[in-house]
Structure 1
Amino acid sequence: MPEGLDDGRLQRQLACFGFEVTVLSQAAKLAKALQKQVPAAVVAFADFTHSDPVLQLAQAISSNCPLVITSPRRDFPARLEAVRLGASGFLDWPLQANQLVDMLSFGDIGERRDPLRVLIVEDMASLAGLYTRVLAAHGVEAVSETNPEKVPERIEHLNPDLILLDMYMPQCNGIELAKVIRQQRLLDGIPILFLSVEKRQNVQLDALTLGIDGFLTKPVAPEELVVTVVNRARRYRKLRSYIANDSLTGLLNHSHLHGQLESAILRARRAGQPLSLAMLDLDFFKQVNDSYGHQAGDEVLLNLARFLKERLRRTDLVGRYGGEEFAIVLAGTPADKARRMLDALRQDFCLLEQGAGARAFRQSFSVGISSLASADSATQLVQQADEMLYRAKAAGRNRVEAQEG
């Protein structure tokens, strides 16, 4: 970063989102730091002059970890140069924390932190292991299963972005298993690729009419496996986000969150595990819109969404329930632990600076938490969390109230 950068504010903002940041003022220091540790990403300032030391290091950086270029130049030649240097992203200078968080959370960089998930169903354990290793070497979280009867359970726990399915297995064939998977509404859209020695076009066409997304003919070359699986899985993840996610925040929308809550309740009851639901509401949000404008209000909603996605566990489900209200499903978590988690998040979010300059302000939220131990249904769980949220607001806001249990 250039000399004189006020990195303290940027570091504090990013720390609120859970990022650990090291700021280096010289490219030489960066080269030494990379020898000691490979970071999740490097964000480098570049002015694209011939003497720019970052340009000399860029390709070495991008070969080891994602590189994001930030520059006061916004012209096409600068952006093209960044691409040729192997940069995964390009941000305008001066850096804005929210834009950087988005860059680190989505696309290729975000994929490193939340890998694509693939379920491999293959009755030959040696082949299943081979496919798993090949995909894992390219950053994919691949899980194999040799027993078709266990596939529904595997899908439930993994929530895969794609299923690789052997067409011919002794217990049941791939077409039958695909039909079982497609019976479930929430699984109807998951891409299924058949692994098979089958080359007859009529058989392949019959399978495609059942909603199968394609064939990989055995033996599958590693390069073909990786390219086909990764591209299909990425496309499905992106399409799923358009359908299931709130258009402003990118979180699950109301209807999909409720469906996921019902599924989580079934899993928790079957496993005898606790589950908590947190309803979160931004305090005095109307005043934000009235005082700073609706654009500032939307930015607060986005900041909260980014904050929750970064700080919550991967197993937690978070969605925008409506307006300034959000819901979080915490599987395997009793209410008292959920209260401690949400209270820590509440305190950190209050430190996050909203807006900029003289118009900067802080924002708080209130939380109500209910427990599956005292609820008979998803509807009742939501109702009880709302009651706890009302109690938190009545007690002065900027606090967490939870049911016992």
Structure 2
Amino acid sequence: MSEENVSEIARKLEVLKLRFKEKAAKDISRLQQAAEQFRVGRFGPNDVVAAYHSLHRLAGSAGTFGYTVLGEEARALEVLLKPLAEINGELAPAQVQRVVDLAFVSRVASLVDSLSLDPVASQRTGAALLPVTVEAATDAVALVVHSDPEQAQNLVQGLELHGFFPVAVPSLKRAVEHGLADVSVLVVKDAKMLSEGSVLESVADTPPIVCVGAGDSFDERYALAECGVDGFLCEPVDVPLLADTMERLITEREESGSGRVMIVDDDPELLEHYGLVLEQGGLKVWRVNNPADILGALSEFRPDIVLMDVQMGTFRGPDLARLLRFEPEWLGLPIIYLSSENDREYQTDALAKGGDDFLVKPVSDAFLLRAVSVRCYRARQLDKLVSRDSLTGLLKHSVARSEINKEYVRCQRRGEQAVVAMLDLDHFKHVNDRYGHRTGDLVIKGLANLLRHQLRKSDVIGRYGGEEFVVALPNCSLIDASRVLQSVCEHMAGIGFQSDGQEFHVTLSVGIVPLQNYLTSDDAIDAADQALYRRKQAGRNGVTVGEEAPITERTQV
């Protein structure tokens, strides 16, 4: 995020703080008038409940804007009034007067004094103190830190075939001087990490670190773990295994700082504040101020998690959570209550009605961002179990077909072009029979990682079954698709896989067709499969365009 955007968010947060202060002053004035009336026995059937809810809102929101003393005192008064608010039926004046005495009225009046206290410094500069995410580079940049230039160059050449952009540097000091902001992963010789690892302490956001080394004892591995290493491989290095480890760590890192969050809260200032804090941390946020709008917002935004207040006017969070669970689509959606309610029994009851977790207000900006990011990451990981192939992390067969159909519909509606491709590893049964299924799995993951690096983030990539893959490339011509997928074939053929000291290579066959030229997306996939079959007959290791393509663009590579 740019400095300009950070400054703009800081300005908006300061405006929200001023709005909160003005609104809180009015709420306290109304509470003071109500308390005076309660003390002399003058109140309507819902007046006590309304005052309780006002104190509840102050208790939950004041700390967020830096008014900690106000929040704590409002919480104490809320606790005193709660037993009255929970009584079903008419309240007798004597019941209320036992609680709302002169001391209670005086404490309510003194709430306004807390607004004159300057918010704590950490909240005043809250936006600037939050971590700012950096957009990931298009290429997966890998710095190789190794004392042996020849071995470093071998790693560089091997990682290039897997779609990485590797750069060799002789030391960690040079790596830091190079700059790590756009680096996706560090590959470091273990001795270098143990002797020079302290230079990374000055780096605010270190990329994942994979060490390579000859030593493989428990003590040696533990020493690397103490240094913050994320992965380790023994020398001589199996480059496809190294590439797979790097890809896994990069994916985990990228997903840990992303997510989609829906916030449901009837307090507009608090809603906006939470939204700005989470957006600055790299999350996408949808704000819902009116709980009645939640179903439409869910369908449109499809969040990873929902943050929801427990009490929102006439709406209660647990009842809204139960309502959402009416729909099978939202049964697995994590719902996190965000409330100043700290009664454990009440929390447990609220969770039993459809919630998944509780965050008690007030929460600091940094804690909110960290807590929500962790929960988003966990939700996305669980979702991957449903939609992603466990071996490759690519879309499962059925999900890939569904995504390709969506692209097909988009092409038909907008008159745009796209390409669908079927890919198959050549003689893969021979690989499994000769080298074993574990080595075969590594070959499959090698192709999956290569596709992730060679293709765009907007492209659909799925594992169709076994050694077969399906790809859809939006806004792409047959000529461009042929060129890109031919490059994938060449990179795949150049990768050297290892098994029991033997090196072997695996080639790739591809069939492609224009997605928009068929009656259905399934017809296009079938046509691409037929083109793949013809590629196999023609000698494998390359790309064949389906016969149904327009003559002006029909090519074979």
TM-score interval, smaller chain: 0.7 to 0.9
C-alpha displacement at 1:86, in angstroms?
A: 2.7
Answer whether contact 1:246 1:320 (CA < 8 A) is retained: yes
Structure 2 counterpart of 1:154: 301
Aligned to 1:246: 389
Q: 1:162-241 maps to which residues of 2 (within 5 A)? A: 162-165=305-308, 179=323, 183=327, 185=329, 188-196=331-339, 208=351, 211-241=354-384
What is aligned with 1:6?
151
Other structure's SS at 1:246 match: coil
Provide the C-alpha distance between the structure 1 equivalents of 2:228 and 2:276, rounded to a whole number of angstroms: 26
Structure 1 position 111 matched with structure 2 position 255: no
The CA deviation at 1:398 is 2.0
Q: Residues 147 and 189 of structure 2 are in contact (CA less than 8 Å); yes or no, is this contact kept in structure 1?
A: yes
User: Paired residue for 1:65?
Assistant: 207
Residues in 2 aligned to 1:370 and 1:204: alpha-carbon distance in whole angstroms: 56
How far has the Cα of 1:326 moved from its partner? 0.9
**Would you say 1:32 and 2:173 are equivalent positions?**
no
Structure 2 residue identity aligned to 1:113? E
How many residue pairs are counted as aligned between the two chains?
Answer: 395
CA contact (8 A) 1:132 1:143 kept: yes
Residue of 188, 198, 202 corresponding to 1:44: 188
1:74 matched residue in structure 2? 216
Q: Which shifted more, 66-75 or 288-297?
A: 288-297
Does structure 2 retain, via aligned residues, the 8 Å contact 1:58–1:85? no
Unaligned runs of at least 5 residues, structure 2: 1-145, 551-557
Find out whether 1:338 has 2:338 as its counterpart.
Answer: no
Instruction: Indicate if the aligned counterparts of 2:259 and 2:373 stay in contact, CA closer than 8 A.
Output: no
In 2, distance between residues paired with 1:224 and 1:179? 29
State the secondary structure of the residue aligned to 1:22: strand
The question of whether the paired residues in 2 share the 8 Å contact of 1:116 and 1:230 is answered with yes
**More displaced 10-residue stretch of structure 1: 62-71 or 382-391:** 62-71
Residue-by-residue CA offset, 1:268-319 (whole Å, 9 max, x unaligned): 6566654432211112223333454444333221211221233332222322
Structure 2 CA distance for partners of 1:60 and 1:281, relative to 1, 3 Å: same
Q: What is the DSSP-based 3-state SS (H/G/I as helix, E as strand, rest coil) of the residue aligned with 2:252?
A: helix
Residues in 2 aligned to 1:248 and 1:303: alpha-carbon distance in whole angstroms: 11
Instruction: Tell me if structure 1 keeps the 8 A contact 2:309–2:339.
Output: yes
Q: Does 1:144 align with 2:289?
A: no
Question: Are 2:427 and 1:284 equivalent residues in the alignment?
Answer: yes
Describe the SS at the equivalent of 1:21: strand
Which structure's residues are more often helix, by fraction?
Answer: 2
3-state SS in 2 of match to 1:355: strand
* CA displacement at 1:6 relative to structure 2: 2.2
CA contact (8 A) 1:48 1:78 kept: no
Task: Provide Cα deviations, 1:114-157, integer angstroms capped at 9, x if missing partner.
Answer: 4431233457775455434434555x4323345754542332xx
Distance 1:117-1:3 versus aligned 2 partners, 3 A rule = same
Contact 1:277 1:370 in 2 (8 A): yes
- Given the alignment of the two structures, is residue 322 of structure 1 paired with residue 465 of structure 2, yes or no? yes
Give 1:203 deviation, angstroms: 8.1
TM norm structure 1: 0.79
Q: Deviations over 1:210-269 (max 9, x none)?
A: 643234344432243233323322222333333433343333332333344445555665
1:348 maps to 2:491? yes
Letter of the structure 2 residue corresponding to residue 25 of structure 1: P
Q: Within 2, Cα distance between the matches of 1:179 and 1:258? A: 31
C-alpha separation in 1, matches of 2:326 and 2:413: 22
- 1:345, distance to aligned residue in structure 2 (A): 1.9
The CA deviation at 1:352 is 1.9
CA distance in 1, matches of 2:155, 2:214: 17
User: What does residue 555 of structure 2 align with?
Assistant: none
Distance 1:299 1:190, change over 3 A: same
Equivalent of 2:160, from 15, 37, 57? Answer: 15
Moved more, 322-331 or 208-217: 208-217
Q: Shift of the alpha carbon at 1:325?
A: 0.8
Q: 1:85 aligns with which of 215, 220, 227?
A: 227
Q: Is the 8 A contact 2:200 2:206 kept in 1?
A: no
Q: Is the partner of 1:65 in helix, strand or coil?
A: coil
8 Å Cα contact 2:278-2:285 kept in structure 1: no
- Identity of aligned pairs, percent? 30
For the aligned residue pairs, the C-alpha RMSD in angstroms reads 3.8
Contact 1:129-1:144 within 8 A present in 2 as well: no
Question: How far apart, in 2, do the equivalents of 1:367 and 1:210 lie?
Answer: 51
Q: How far off its partner does 1:20 sit?
A: 1.5
